[in-house]
Amino acid sequence: MGHRGTRVALAVCAGLLGAMVGASPALAHNSFTGSNPEEGATVEKAPEEIELRFLEEVDAAATKISVTAPHGASGMKGDARFDGKKIFVPFGVGQAGKYTVNYEIPSDDGHPVKGNVSFTLTEAAVAAAAPTPTAEPTTAAPTPETVPATDAPVLDPTASSENDGGTPVWPWLVGGLLLVVAVAGGTIAYGRRKAS
């Protein structure tokens, strides 16, 4: 009976050890595996999104993401997008300099995983974006020149219409008055002749 009891005890211990080994991955820390742009990279063209990759799937509700631009401004444009083990952070292009992406993600054992990724945006990207605002004033300049050209001819038809409308009225009034006088005089003369 002693050998059987020892075997049972060893079997129970082996089962408990196997259960602990099987459960250990679930209690492990989630960890950062890479990014795009990579840590310490120098980027000439600003990316639309910054990609962060992790060992396990990331819980969007408990994750904190921020992007610090040069001089402490925010370099994040909108909300981050989560896709399984990846996080896509919208990048707000600003001035050239060093940008730092800070992240804090939850882990299965309850301890958050914190870290950051830094990359540098060169002057070439800012110089390419500079010509955009200068193009706007050149297109707006010809607009005021066309406005007085359209206003000038409007005055001519009004002057000609006033002259044309004033001349035909008086002859008609004079002619109508003379006609009334002539009819009235003829009627009076005809009445006198008939009476005599």
Comparison of pLDDT for 99 and 142, the residue scoring more: 99
Q: Do residues 33 and 53 make contact, with C-beta atoms less than 8 angstroms apart?
A: yes
* Average pLDDT over every residue of 102-119: 88
**Dihedral class, residue 110 (left if φ above 0, else alpha if ψ from -120 to 50, else beta):** left
- Share the mean pLDDT of the chain: 72
Q: What is the pLDDT of residue 25?
A: 43
* Average pLDDT over every residue of 85-108: 90
Q: What is the pLDDT of residue 11?
A: 52
3-state per-residue secondary structure call for 58-112: CCHHHCEEEEECHHHCECECCCCEEECCEEEEEECCCCCEEEEEEEEECCCCCCC
Scan for tokens 């089962």, then name that residue: 15
Q: pTM above 0.75?
A: no
**pLDDT of 186 strictly over 80:** no
Model confidence at 23, pLDDT cuts 50, 70, 90, reads very low
**pLDDT of 37 strictly over 90:** yes
- Grouping H, G, I as helix, E, B as strand and the rest as coil, residue 129 is helix
Model confidence at 124, pLDDT cuts 50, 70, 90, reads low
**pLDDT of 34 strictly over 60:** yes
* CB neighbour list of residue 103: distance below 8 Å, 6 or more residues apart: 32, 52, 63, 64, 65, 87, 113, 114, 115, 116, 117
Q: What is the pLDDT of residue 119?
A: 93
- 46-79 residue pLDDT tens: 889 999 999 999 999 999 999 999 888 888 888 9
**pLDDT of 176 strictly over 80:** no
Q: Do residues 129 and 139 make contact, with C-beta atoms less than 8 angstroms apart?
A: no
